[in-house]
Amino acid sequence: MASPGENSWSLDRQIPMPVAEDVFAMNHELSRASLEAHLTTRVIGRHLELHGEIDSTNTRAVTLAREGTPDGTLVLAERQTRGRGRLGRRWFAPKGTSLLLSLVLRPKLLPRQALRAMMICSLATVEAIRRTSGLSVQVKWPNDIVAHGAKLGGFLTELGLRGRQLDYVVVGMGLNVNLDISALPAWPTPPTSLSAVVGHPVSRLELLVAILEEIETRYDKMCAGWSPHQEWREHLATLGQLVCVTGSQGSIEGVAEDVDQDGALLVRTGDGELRRVLADDVTLRGHPPLRRTPRIPG
């Protein structure tokens, strides 16, 4: 496990990273010089740590957030030894094949609105993938990026409070870019990578820059009062499908009808009850008979 300063750099220092022999890894692209040369953001990613290896970018980002790191701080790694996803799952990503990052945000939101930070990051990723590869992808509620039903990546959101106020939100992301999918373990949602879908290696630098720029565009709007709800709703693969939700409320089966302003999934059960579900595990069962999907006001 790397210490916080080992194999890392911030705006005022850089420690060279080893370059992988695998041409698909393209480690040489993720450097201070290349990011500064291409990144146009004002806040997002401007305070940066880049690690050759770390236990978890989210763990490091939470530590930095508690220490008062600036809004928009980015922790980026080539490999995680204890990468994690939702519900305690491990995140598998060989060195140099993926984008592994965590972002510290300090939006002026209510704690119940914290999921909006993840919404703008997932939307930014969807648009960045379209910009850089031409591929149209979707969001599987609540936190996966999917292409043709297979998982490209996911998000892990952690928040900190100061009294009753939201102090920070850490949004972690793992995105399979140039990854040999035959090396991936089996998951409930079958995994894939961008290179596997588009048929050629993808520039991680170009994709990372696009993601950070798209995040800042939406972050600025959100901080000015805009809600990402409608745009996020339009990119959800889950709506209109039969789902099985397992988690804190037990098991719920029904039709995923909508999401509310704070990102909760609204599931219509077989007995007609509309259940509100927050951040549990969802398995898609397929499409139900055609029916009208209600809109949520706002």
Fold match between 27-234 and 242-286? no
Least confident residue range of 33-37, 53-57, 146-150, 239-243: 33-37
Indicate whether 105 pLDDT > 60: yes
Cβ atoms of 295 and 258 closer than 8 Å = yes
pLDDT of residue 107: 97
Find the mean pLDDT for residues 227-241: 96
Q: Count CB atoms within 10 A of the CB of residue 115.
A: 23
Query: Which CATH number does 27-234 carry?
Result: 3.30.930.10
pLDDT of residue 92: 65
How buried is 125 (Cβ within 10 angstroms: 0-12 exposed, 13-18 middle, 19+ buried)?
buried
**Structure letter (DSSP) for residue 215:** H
Q: What is the dihedral of CA 68, 69, 71, 74, to 10 degrees?
A: -150
Least confident residue range of 51-55, 92-96, 233-237: 92-96
Q: What is the DSSP string of 116-133?
A: HHHHHHHHHHHHHHHHHH
Query: Which CATH number does 242-286 carry?
Result: 2.30.30.100
Least confident residue range of 1-10, 104-113, 226-235: 1-10
pLDDT of residue 286: 52
pTM: 0.83
| Per-residue pLDDT band at 279 (split at 50, 70, 90) | low
The domains of the chain are located at 27-234, 242-286
Indicate whether 21 pLDDT > 80: no
pLDDT in tens, 81-104: 976 554 455 656 678 889 999 999
Average pLDDT, the chain: 83
Distance between CA 104 and CA 117 in Å, rounded? 10
